[in-house]
Homo-oligomer: A and B are copies of this chain.
């Protein structure tokens, strides 16, 4: 039986990736409280902001205010999505610790979403990457559709390897391999992760799984088996799936922490406080959360 990593870093993406995909508008105050509750729960990395045009993503228009007013916890990396140099300047001004650039492993997805090839889309991030390095910020590269694409279906392993190399060559400190539509299953997950690990440091590769088909926890366990030790998740499963209305999106943080702690893996996270944060933000959204562990633990509290 493979040895699993002893410690795992969870990147909590609820405040950005999660909320961005929620229809209900959430106030800056509520977002600040959410991020602070997550910091207090012990997350070492929180995706807190996106400096994209508010014309395109109104939910993220409060990013500067959020970054200004949160209580920074020592040791926590606060990340911001930066689509271009304008976004980078805003992230720098807002004192983000890490900026996130992105591309797709699917040519069809790239063409359909941003109307250019994968190679062109990543080359456009060169100035952002250089500026991040020049300013001493961490740089993260996110690769969507690494396990399947809503337009082209299968995504060749070689496409994933190619984008990992491009992200690496831009100087990324960490690279996320994302299952944007949640279609992967355990063995495929291992094959994709092993492919990525041939191009980049295994201990700086992150798994970003969606639970659309209920597979995320099995994919995370399978990734642990091949040595992946960074995972993205979203408190209470915030954020739906834009490709299947009513389906599940980001894997829920509570479920991931329950798994990791059950496996004896250290995360530095207090699960009870994550449940608190989930109950808080779902109260703001006015609905029940998507985390099974979160709902079960909340039900046990209620007696």
B-contacting residues of A (Cβ < 8 Å)? Answer: 1-2, 4, 182, 184-188, 190, 211-215, 217-218, 220-222, 225, 241, 244-248, 252, 254-255, 258-259, 262-264, 288, 291-293, 295-296, 299-300, 302
Contact = CB atoms under 8 A, between A and B. Distances in A.
Contacts of A292: 211-214, 247-248
B262 A185 contact: yes
A213 B293 contact: yes
A218 B187 CA distance: 12
A263 B221 contact: no
Nearest to A184: B262
Q: What is the oligomeric copy number?
A: 2
B255 A215 contact: yes
A171 to B, nearest CB: 33
Contacts of A190: 1
A217 to B, nearest CB: 4
A213 B299 contact: no
14 contacts: A1-B2, A182-B296, A185-B259, A185-B262, A186-B221, A214-B255, A214-B259, A215-B262, A217-B217, A217-B218, A218-B221, A221-B222, A246-B299, A248-B296
B248 A213 contact: no
Contacts of A244: 295-296, 299-300
A229 to B, nearest CB: 16
A186 B186 CA distance: 13
A259 B299 contact: no
A221 B217 CA distance: 10
A21 to B, nearest CB: 15
Select the residue from A217, A220, A296 with max chain B CB neighbours within 10 A: A296
Closest 3 CB pairs of A and B: A185-B262, A214-B255, A214-B292
